[in-house]
């Protein structure tokens, strides 16, 4: 089980907060990635036809790689600048997303 009040938001939230340098999506806007969307649609359709339950897609899947990288780097920077896990105040967030 994961901590209900993590010190940092998940990486896809970080990635979404960055402008995408690949497709030019503004912060908060999804990537313009029709091929990625089509891939996910195909997979969903295959699962549906095979009688498999649908998955909840990680929204990172629909973002361009460079935007994901920007989000990861930002998260790593925040983690490095935050206090050590033992010194953190429970329930407090240490991200710089504002
Ligand atoms: Zn993009």
Task: Evaluate whether residue 36 is within a structural domain.
Answer: yes
Query: Which residues have a Cβ under 8 Å from the Cβ of 75 and sit 6 or more positions away?
Result: 8, 11, 14, 95
- Tell how far the Cα of 13 is from the centroid of ligand 1, in angstroms: 14
Quick check: is 5 in a domain?
no
CA of 1 to the centre of ligand 1 (A): 31
- Look-up of token digits 């010190």: 7
Residue 28 lies in a domain: yes
- What is the pLDDT at residue 29? 94
Q: How far is the CA of 35 from the centre of ligand 1 (A)?
A: 11
Tell me the whole-structure pTM to 2 decimals. Answer: 0.79
35 found inside a domain: yes
CA of 46 to the centre of ligand 1 (A): 25
Predicted pLDDT of residue 5? 74
The count of domains in the chain is: 1
62 domain residue, yes or no: yes
Quote the pLDDT of residue 4.
61
Q: Is the residue at 59 inside a domain?
A: yes
Residue 27 CA, ligand 1 centroid: distance in Å? 10
19: nearest Cα among 76, 70, 78: 70
Q: Is residue 98 part of a domain?
A: no
Enclosing domain of residue 76: 11-87
Instruction: List the chain pLDDT tens, one digit each, 98 residues.
Output: 555 678 999 999 999 999 999 999 999 999 999 999 899 899 999 999 999 998 777 778 899 999 999 999 999 999 999 999 899 998 899 999 97
The answer to whether 30 and 19 are in contact (CB under 8 A) is no
């Amino acid at each position: 089980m994961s901590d209900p009040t993590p010190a940092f938001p998940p990486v896809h939230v970080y990635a979404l907060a960055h402008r995408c340098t690949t497709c030019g999506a503004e912060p908060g806007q999804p990537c313009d990635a029709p091929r990625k969307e089509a891939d996910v649609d195909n997979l969903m359709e295959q699962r549906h036809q095979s009688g498999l339950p649908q998955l909840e897609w990680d929204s990172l899947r629909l973002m361009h790689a460079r935007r994901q990288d920007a989000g990861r780097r930002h998260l790593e920077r925040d983690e490095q600048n935050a206090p050590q896990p033992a010194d953190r105040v429970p329930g407090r967030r240490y991200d710089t997303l504002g």
